[in-house]
Amino acid sequence: MIETLQGLFKRDLNRLKNEIELYKSESDIWKIKDGISNSGGNLCLHLIGNLNAYIGKELGGTNYERNRPLEFSAKDVPRKDLIIEVENTLAIVINTLENLDEMNLKNEYPILVFENPTSTEYMLIHLTTHLTYHLGQINYHRRLIESVE
């Protein structure tokens, strides 16, 4: 299971990096149009914060301090900085997973995230689907923003 999770996080964090690189204009990363509530940049920041908090801090013991409101309010973070943060997040996620074993996955996740406690395995699977969900939104955002112009 750990190898599978590592493979999924590697694949999709590299896809996230690729999506940010594919925006034709750096300013397009931050554009909002009617009916779109979050820019690709803000969704990228949200994924970085989410994974650093729930994997890096809670499972890897990093000292990451999440500022969730800033993930959705920050604007015009340079593309190169977003890419560096995605790469750093990937390294933290992979390093954390390398230090887990299959028994850790059965343990209760260290903090209550949902209404009821979950296993670490459940939380990690949830985080892969959360990443994929927002990755799809970023892809759609990029194509929609660029088709309007």
Question: Over 90: is that where the pLDDT of 147 sits?
Answer: no
**Would you kindly state where each structural domain of the chain is located, as residue ranges?**
2-148
DSSP H helices, the chain, are 2-22, 40-51, 68-73, 79-98, 102-106, 120-148
Task: Average the pLDDT over 81-104 and give the result.
Answer: 97
**148 vs 101: CA distance, rounded Å:** 48
Left (φ > 0), alpha (ψ -120 to 50) or beta: where does 31 sit? Answer: beta
Is the model's pLDDT at 128 over the cut of 60?
A: yes
On whether the 2-148 domain is CATH 3.30.450.20, my answer is no
- The three-class DSSP label of residue 96 is helix
Work out the pLDDT band at 141, boundaries 50, 70, 90.
Answer: very high
Q: What is the pLDDT of residue 148?
A: 63
